[in-house]
Amino acid sequence: MIAKSQHHWTGDVADLLRVGDGFRLADVDPRSTPGYDKDKVRAAEDLGTGALQLDEYQERLFAESRVDATDASVLLVLQAMDSAGKGGIIRHVVGSVDPQGVSLAAFKKPTPEELAHDFLWRIEQRVPEPGLIGVFDRSHYEDVLIGRVRELAPAAEIERRYGAINEFEKRLVDGGTRVVKVMLHISPDEQKRRLGERLDRPDKHWKYNPGDVDERELWPAYMAAYQTVFERTSTTWAPWHVVPADRKWYARLAVQHLLLEALEDIDPKWPVATFDVAAEKARLAAS
């Protein structure tokens, strides 16, 4: 049995982080820790407890899918400015479950073949099958974020995409997928500190891209594009969550909690045997 979450949350995290009417990104403090008043050490313990819960939920969900007892899946959509900690979420939160139950898709700059199709073409191909936790490291939202900021498509096309995204996600949800959308929100100062660390450490140089500094110039434009994304695509079926991410430990704990909630909502059970257990024991003994 999975006990209900034993975390030290002081409030409903999903409620606290969910983007609703009147949400303003500018009002969110990236160093805050909504719903959690313990420290980093306690958070690490809670993350460990949550990892065990996530692991069992995931295995149950996977088990149900193997016997065609569910069409449920989870899709975690991760968006963020550079160095906000997407990789750490994948490694430390998603990485705690069996790799056989995870489907990970990292969306880079589109290829010419991808660009020749509708922007959702490459996304559709990576939607998780029933039983899996899918993770999108960047996603279709790039097409209304960098797409808007860098004017990679005509304004009318960008406008069209918000509606297309909502319809696409509605279809996923109707098909059994819980869509968990997360923006990891860091401050420009924290990003500067993290990029500086990459420059200071030779084993981190490969993670540094000079283009990251150019993007910093566009910070206000990106924040405006995110604000529009939230206003246009935080739906009842697939709401956005803005997770303060200047403290990595908080962001990881919060995202883990959002995944746990999605799985609690699915409430997967160990499948009942579709064969006669006693008869199979006899056959096995005789084999």
Applying CB under 8 A, the residues found at the interface with a copy of itself are: 63-64, 66-67, 87, 90-91, 94-95, 98-100, 102, 104, 106, 137, 192, 195-196, 199, 202-203, 205-208, 210, 213, 216-217, 270-273, 275, 277, 280-281, 283-284, 287
Based on CB atoms, which residue is closest to a copy of itself, 159 or 199? 199
- Other CB atoms within a 10 A radius of the CB of residue 166 amount to 16
Based on CB atoms, which residue is closest to a copy of itself, 35 or 88? 88
CA quadruple 128, 75, 164, 212: dihedral, nearest 10: -110
Minimum Å gap between C-beta 74 and a copy of itself is 15
| CA gap 238, 240 in Å, rounded | 7
Based on CB atoms, which residue is closest to a copy of itself, 24 or 205? 205
**Smallest Cα–Cα separation from 182: which of 132, 255, 237, 261?**
255
184 in Cβ contact with 27 (< 8 Å): no
Minimum Å gap between C-beta 88 and a copy of itself is 10
Minimum Å gap between C-beta 280 and a copy of itself is 6
| CA gap 222, 216 in Å, rounded | 9
Strand order in the sheet with 73-80: 102-106, 133-137, 73-80, 177-185, 240-244
Based on CB atoms, which residue is closest to a copy of itself, 161 or 252? 252
Minimum Å gap between C-beta 1 and a copy of itself is 10
